[in-house]
Amino acid sequence: MQYPFWELTTFGGGFFIALIAVIHVFLAHFAVGGGLFLPLFEGMARKRGSAPLLAYVRSHTKFFLLVTMVLGGMTGVGIWFTISVLAPQATSTLIHTFVFGWAAEWVCFLAEIVALLIYHYRFEQMSPRNHLIVGWLYFIFAWLSLFLINGIIGFMLTPGQWLETGSFWDGFFNPSFWPSLFFRTFAAATIAGLFGFVTAHRVQDAEARETIYRTCAWWTTIPLLLALACGWWYTSVIPPEALHRLALRASRITRFYSLVPLFAAAVFVLGAVMLVRLPRNLRISVSVALLLLGFGFLGSFEFLREAARKPYLIHGYMYSNQIRPMDMQQYTEAGMLGSSKWVSGKELTEDDMERLGGELFQLQCASCHSVGGPMNDILPLTEKYPVTGMDAKLSGMGTISPMMPLFAGTGQERMALARYIVNTLHGGRPGNIAFAGKDLPLEIPPFDKNKDQYVLLAWNNLGMHCISDSYSEWVLLPPANDIYAQLVKRGDKPQVITKGVTLTYSVEPGFENPAALCSFWDHAQSLFGARPQENVGLCGNGLTGKLKPHEELNCFEAALIPVKPYPASGGFNPYPVFTVRAEDAETGELLAETKTVAPTSTEMGCKNCHGGPWLVDNLAGISQATGRDVLKSHDRLSNTELVASAQSGNPRLCQSCHPDPVLGAEGNPELLNLPAAIHGFHANFLTDRGSEACAFCHPNRPDGPTKCLRGLHAQADIGCVRCHGYLEDHALSLLKHEDGKGKQGAKRLMAHLKARTVESADQVMPRLPWMNEPDCRTCHTDPGTRPDKKTANAFNTWTHDGHALYRNSLDANGNMMCIACHNSPHANYPALNKYGANRDNIAPLQYQGNTRSVGADNNCGVCHLKEVTGNAHHVKTAQN
């Protein structure tokens, strides 16, 4: 930034420009339309020989001069003053580009002044013929002023070929020049008719007054229809991306879309009514109403035109904060502060973060946003954000919501601005509290390797089931945990037993009655079209019950158990323990018993950006305030009516619209599938981050109460990005799959995402969520060796379908499931749990006395009673 900035607060955000410009534009159109109105009306009066009509013209001329030359001239100068101090870079560009045009316009304006002064002060002294000539000269010069200004104003929205050529003529005769010129000419005539009504009531002669009203009615209605037709023409030449931005922002400016035709219709109807002879006092009231409606009509049009121009002052060339897109790379590398002349500090330190954040606010935000003021007040727009959410909002600014420019500067400068907005303007917002951890009691079931004939292994198939417990607002995933188990009969050749046995499960005390602690069952009918009994899940399973045989996976399964992370004693525990028992189906004899956690967390980080408190113990859960803001954002960005639906008692399941393979939800096939939509959207706000970007939403922040990535990979400091890719890569893989199916929303979300693990987005392999996941064999190529934990990377190699997923894979012989011995994804043995170090390691501790994978470290004797050589279980995996 090469110009000093005017530090604005309450009356920032373009308030002065808008206040002065709206009035000036209205009066400027009156100056053009009135310039035609006066000589035509004078000619009519002289032709009829009507002294009252001629007196009206003389009186109206004085009114016209005072309004257009005095008030109009003052507001015109006011515009120049305000834009020169609020937008000096843009003003400089306009002057240097159109210096000849401005000079010509000033000459025309000077000629207008001279002609109008002669027309008014020599009204009776000049001959009628010469007086009319002066009147027509005024109109010609006034219209030429419109002609010249129209080219410059239109250039700012539709610069056309000027962006490539820099030519005066390409910029002046831009794509919107002619439709805009005709629209404004006809609008000017309409406004002249409206002002004609205002002064008509002063005419004492009843018949002359009636003639004036009728004439002004035709002046109002006929040009208005022509202006609307030209407005349609004007819309057709607006850049498609500008129309797209208006469509995306429609929920904010819908009232202006409706106000333009509403004001036009009202002006037309009331203007036509003035053709009818009405009482004088009533006509005065209608005249004032018509003038206000005309102001509303032109003002609404100008608002839409300005909205179409955002985020630019000059479309495609200069953002609304006067930063040019071509300079963005410089600001990203060198910093906004380091590249600006008129700032008090070039380098950020901890002590100066918020103070310099205030200067960054003036450089990047104050041109559009006020602080506590009447226009674009920044305070209500940012009230909900803590610092992390504000930083994310700034990071994604100008991507999904293209009405704003991209943030210009370094990541540290972005954080300084976020801290200024949250801590200085809002007085701070509480962040997430750190969770110290608990050591809950855990009893490991007994096992006697010399006597016991069976080994029972149980696990959860996902490693963490995330629940969005905002049931009164919306639901992403219901309470629905899955428990799997395999029963192995020990021997020289162990056997997986699937027949003649009964497997049951039961939750630990305190978790038996989730219905008393959540409202899922109150909304299940609305959300899922089902009405299960309290404490019974969508698959018919409760907190105790039987596991059913799963023939394809050679195991037992209890699906969609509605366990919640809220014990009856209060608090939050995302790792409730289930006891699984295997009994002889005929005799009821207990064959084996084990335990497993059913990881279930509501620590979903929606509040980090959508505001509101945590629902439970300031640790987890989506409060109604947070859930409602998610709906508000969805309504604003997608023109939905989800808030109204929730308020009427009908919350929505996200998959009722968005397809999702995990639930088998077909949704609307034209919409992005849910994981692609969610990750694709939020990746735009969380760019250039590592695994911490995942923890903003998933329950995995290092100081949080869940830490879902807690297995062997976590202990080796292998984070999310080494398997799933950076968030940008992860989102691109999902979006490319949807783009391949022709879904239009994918390209919009991908537009600002850049691949990071690979060189370009073209190299990112598309995938279907939940079916195409990272393949263990990408890194674990040899069962006898470990991958290099510093270089190994599984991103971009996906399993070919759901059968090949780690959680669904069987060993070389098709008997044992891999997950049975290695444990759940994200919690593979040994896992470290915040609610007791070994809460996830029950099976290996039970059967071999350590926390390694079952059978590791030559512990094959857990199942094999005969010595085993080789790696039989992994042979098939290694070869494939």
* DSSP letter string, 602-660: ---TTHHHH---EEETTTEEE-HHHHHHHHHHHHHHH---HHHHHHTT--EEGGGTS-B
**Residues 6 or more apart from 468 whose CB is under 8 A from it?**
474, 475, 476, 477, 602, 604, 606, 622, 627
| Region 738-756 average pLDDT | 94
Beta strand 614-616 with 620-622 is antiparallel
Look at residues 822, 464, 778 and name the one whose alpha carbon lies nearest to residue 620. Answer: 464
Tell me what pLDDT residue 875 has: 58
State the alpha helices, DSSP H only, in 396-444: 411-419
Look at residues 857, 856, 773 and name the one whose alpha carbon lies nearest to residue 807. Answer: 773
Residue 81 has, within 13 A of its CA and on its CB side, a CA count of 8
Tell me what pLDDT residue 256 has: 62
Tell me what pLDDT residue 430 has: 85
Q: Which residue has the tokens 């911490």?
A: 692
Tell me what pLDDT residue 255 has: 61
Q: Which residue has the tokens 């994310």?
A: 392
Burial profile 347-368: b = 16 or more Cβ within 10 angstroms, e = fewer: ebeeeebbebbbbbbbbbbbbb
**Residues 6 or more apart from 397 whose CB is under 8 A from it?**
404, 405, 406, 407
CA distances (Å), 60 to each of 39, 209, 422, in order? 12, 13, 55
Backbone region of residue 668 per phi and psi (left: phi > 0; alpha: psi in -120 to 50; beta: other values): beta
Residue 212: enclosing H or E segment and its boundaries?
helix 206-237
Query: How is residue 667 written in tokens?
Result: 């949704």
Whether residue 763 is predicted with pLDDT greater than 90 in this model: the reply is yes
Query: How is residue 855 written in tokens?
Result: 């059978």
Asked if 582 and 593 count as a contact pair (C-beta separation under 8 A), the reply is yes
Please state, in angstroms and rounded to a whole number, the distance separating the CA atoms of residues 672 and 737.
10
Please state, in angstroms and rounded to a whole number, the distance separating the CA atoms of residues 170 and 153.
13
- Please list the residues that pair with 466 across neighbouring strands: 601
Please state, in angstroms and rounded to a whole number, the distance separating the CA atoms of residues 827 and 27.
71
- Please list the residues that pair with 484 across neighbouring strands: 459, 557
Tell me what pLDDT residue 879 has: 32
Note the pLDDT tens digit of each residue in 135-174. Answer: 999 999 999 999 999 999 999 999 999 999 999 999 999 9
Asked if 467 and 622 count as a contact pair (C-beta separation under 8 A), the reply is no
Q: Which of 175-189, 239-253, 746-760 has the lowest mean pLDDT?
A: 239-253
Please state, in angstroms and rounded to a whole number, the distance separating the CA atoms of residues 611 and 600.
23
Please state, in angstroms and rounded to a whole number, the distance separating the CA atoms of residues 22 and 300.
10
Give the DSSP letter string of 269-324. Answer: HHHHHTTS---HHHHHHHHHHHHHHHHHHHHHHHHHHHHHHTTEEETTTEETTS--
Q: How confident is the model at residue 877 (pLDDT cuts 50, 70, 90)?
A: very low
Look at residues 202, 192, 94 and name the one whose alpha carbon lies nearest to residue 149. Answer: 94
Note the pLDDT tens digit of each residue in 432-448. Answer: 999 999 999 999 999 99
**Angle between helix 177-200 and 206-237 (nearest 10):** 160
Contacts of 249-252 with C-beta under 8 Å, sequence gap 24+, read 249/307, 249/401, 249/403, 250/639, 251/635, 251/636, 251/637, 251/639, 252/636
For all residues of the chain together, what is the average pLDDT? 92
Q: Which of 111-120, 207-216, 306-315, 648-657 has the lowest mean pLDDT?
A: 306-315
Look at residues 112, 291, 283 and name the one whose alpha carbon lies nearest to residue 200. Answer: 283
Beta strand 600-601 with 465-466 is parallel
Asked if 536 and 542 count as a contact pair (C-beta separation under 8 A), the reply is yes
Look at residues 429, 418, 409 and name the one whose alpha carbon lies nearest to residue 358. Answer: 418
Query: How is residue 678 written in tokens?
Result: 């969610």
Asked if 331 and 323 count as a contact pair (C-beta separation under 8 A), the reply is yes
State the alpha helices, DSSP H only, in 490-591: 520-528
Query: How is residue 128 written in tokens?
Result: 């009628």
Look at residues 439, 446, 425, 452 and name the one whose alpha carbon lies nearest to residue 370. Answer: 425
**Residues 6 or more apart from 383 whose CB is under 8 A from it?**
426, 611
Note the pLDDT tens digit of each residue in 602-621. Answer: 999 999 999 999 999 999 99
Q: Which residue has the tokens 């602080």?
A: 371
Please state, in angstroms and rounded to a whole number, the distance separating the CA atoms of residues 270 and 275.
9
Structure letter (DSSP) for residue 358:
H
3 state DSSP class of 44: helix
Span 327-425: which CATH code?
Answer: 1.10.760
Say which residue, 247 or 853, is predicted with more confidence: 853
| Region 122-144 average pLDDT | 96
Residue 475: enclosing H or E segment and its boundaries?
strand 474-475
Pick the CATH number of 454-601 from 2.60.40, 1.10.10, 3.30.70, 2.30.30: 2.60.40
CA distances (Å), 800 to each of 102, 572, 661, 764, 796, in order? 65, 38, 14, 15, 12
Note the pLDDT tens digit of each residue in 401-459. Answer: 788 899 999 999 999 999 999 999 999 988 899 999 999 999 999 999 999 999 999 99
Structure letter (DSSP) for residue 444:
P
Q: Which of 105-109, 267-271, 275-279, 745-749 has the lowest mean pLDDT?
A: 275-279
- Please list the residues that pair with 864 across neighbouring strands: 491
Tell me what pLDDT residue 880 has: 31
Q: Beta strands of 179-230 (E only): which ranges?
A: none
Whether residue 252 is predicted with pLDDT greater than 60 in this model: the reply is no
Please state, in angstroms and rounded to a whole number, the distance separating the CA atoms of residues 196 and 42.
13
Whether residue 878 is predicted with pLDDT greater than 50 in this model: the reply is no
Asked if 270 and 286 count as a contact pair (C-beta separation under 8 A), the reply is yes
Please state, in angstroms and rounded to a whole number, the distance separating the CA atoms of residues 31 and 64.
8
Ordered by start, the domain boundaries in the chain are 15-319, 327-425, 454-601
Query: First vs last Cα of the chain: how many Å apart?
Result: 58
Note the pLDDT tens digit of each residue in 790-805. Answer: 889 999 999 999 999 9
Whether residue 23 is predicted with pLDDT greater than 80 in this model: the reply is yes
Asked if 5 and 363 count as a contact pair (C-beta separation under 8 A), the reply is yes
Asked if 440 and 576 count as a contact pair (C-beta separation under 8 A), the reply is no
Note the pLDDT tens digit of each residue in 631-648. Answer: 999 998 888 999 999 999
Structure letter (DSSP) for residue 385:
-
Burial class (CB in 10 A: 0-12, 13-18, 19+), 155: buried
Whether residue 376 is predicted with pLDDT greater than 90 in this model: the reply is no
